[in-house]
Amino acid sequence: MEAHLHDYITMLRVERNLALNTIDAYRRDLKNYVSYLETKGLNSVKGIKQKHIRGFIRALADIHLSASSINRALSSIRSYHTYLNDEHWVENNPSQLMEAPKLPRKLPDVLTVQEVDDILDAVDESAALALRDLALLEILYSAGLRVSEACNLNLTGMLLDNEMIRVSGKGNKERLVPMGSRALDRLNDYIKFERPALSRKRKTDGIVFLSRNGRPLTRMSVYNILKKWSQTAGITKKVSPHTMRHSFATHLLEGGADLRAVQEMLGHADISSTQIYTHLDKEHLKEVHRTFHPRW
Q: Tens digits of per-residue pLDDT, 107-165?
A: 667 899 999 999 999 999 999 999 999 999 999 999 999 999 999 999 999 998 888 99
The helix (run of H) or strand (run of E) holding residue 83 is helix 67-86
Question: CA-CA distance, 92 to 81, in Å (whole number)?
Answer: 9
Looking at residue 193, what is its pLDDT?
A: 96
User: For residues 110 and 121, is the Cβ–Cβ distance under 8 A?
Assistant: no
Looking at residue 276, what is its pLDDT?
A: 67
Could you tell me the residue range of the domain that residue 159 belongs to?
Answer: 113-292
Identify whether residues 217 and 265 lie together within a single domain: yes
Task: Check if 284 is active-site.
Answer: no
Average pLDDT, rounded, for the chain = 88
Task: Check if 192 is active-site.
Answer: no
174-178 and 164-168 as β-strands: parallel, antiparallel, unpaired? antiparallel
- Is residue 272 in a domain? yes
Q: Tens digits of per-residue pLDDT, 19-43?
A: 888 899 999 999 999 999 999 999 8
Identify whether residues 51 and 126 lie together within a single domain: no
Identify whether residues 274 and 180 lie together within a single domain: yes
Task: Check if 277 is active-site.
Answer: yes
Mean of pLDDT values over 46-61? 92
Task: Check if 242 is active-site.
Answer: yes
Split at pLDDT 50, 70, 90, the class of 105 is: low
Looking at residue 173, what is its pLDDT?
A: 83
* Residue of 61, 90, 110, 70 whose CA lies nearest to 1: 90
Identify whether residues 82 and 123 lie together within a single domain: no
Task: Check if 170 is active-site.
Answer: yes
Question: CA-CA distance, 285 to 158, in Å (whole number)?
Answer: 36
Which listed residue (170, 173, 212, 282) is catalytic?
Answer: 170
For residue 178, what are the β-bridge partners? Answer: 164
Q: Tens digits of per-residue pLDDT, 59-92?
A: 998 998 888 888 899 999 999 999 999 999 999 8
Question: CA-CA distance, 194 to 123, in Å (whole number)?
Answer: 15
More confident residue, 19 or 245: 245
Q: What is the CATH number of the domain that holds 141?
A: 1.10.443.10
Which listed residue (242, 246, 251, 286) is catalytic?
Answer: 242
Q: What is the CATH number of the domain that holds 18?
A: 1.10.150.130
User: Of 7-16, 95-104, 186-195, which range is least confident?
Assistant: 95-104
Split at pLDDT 50, 70, 90, the class of 255 is: confident
In residues, how long is the chain?
296
Looking at residue 277, what is its pLDDT?
A: 67
Task: Check if 295 is active-site.
Answer: no
The three-state secondary structure class of 175 is: strand
Looking at residue 64, what is its pLDDT?
A: 86
- Distances, alpha carbon 156 to alpha carbons 153, 176, 181, in Å: 9, 12, 19
Mean of pLDDT values over 85-104? 83
Residues with Cβ < 8 Å from 118, sequence gap 6 or more?
233, 234, 235
Identify whether residues 274 and 142 lie together within a single domain: yes
Identify whether residues 266 and 145 lie together within a single domain: yes
Q: Which amino acid is at 284?
A: H
Which listed residue (4, 81, 245, 246) is catalytic?
Answer: 245
Question: CA-CA distance, 237 to 109, in Å (whole number)?
Answer: 8
- Is residue 75 in a domain? yes
Question: CA-CA distance, 165 to 191, in Å (whole number)?
Answer: 14
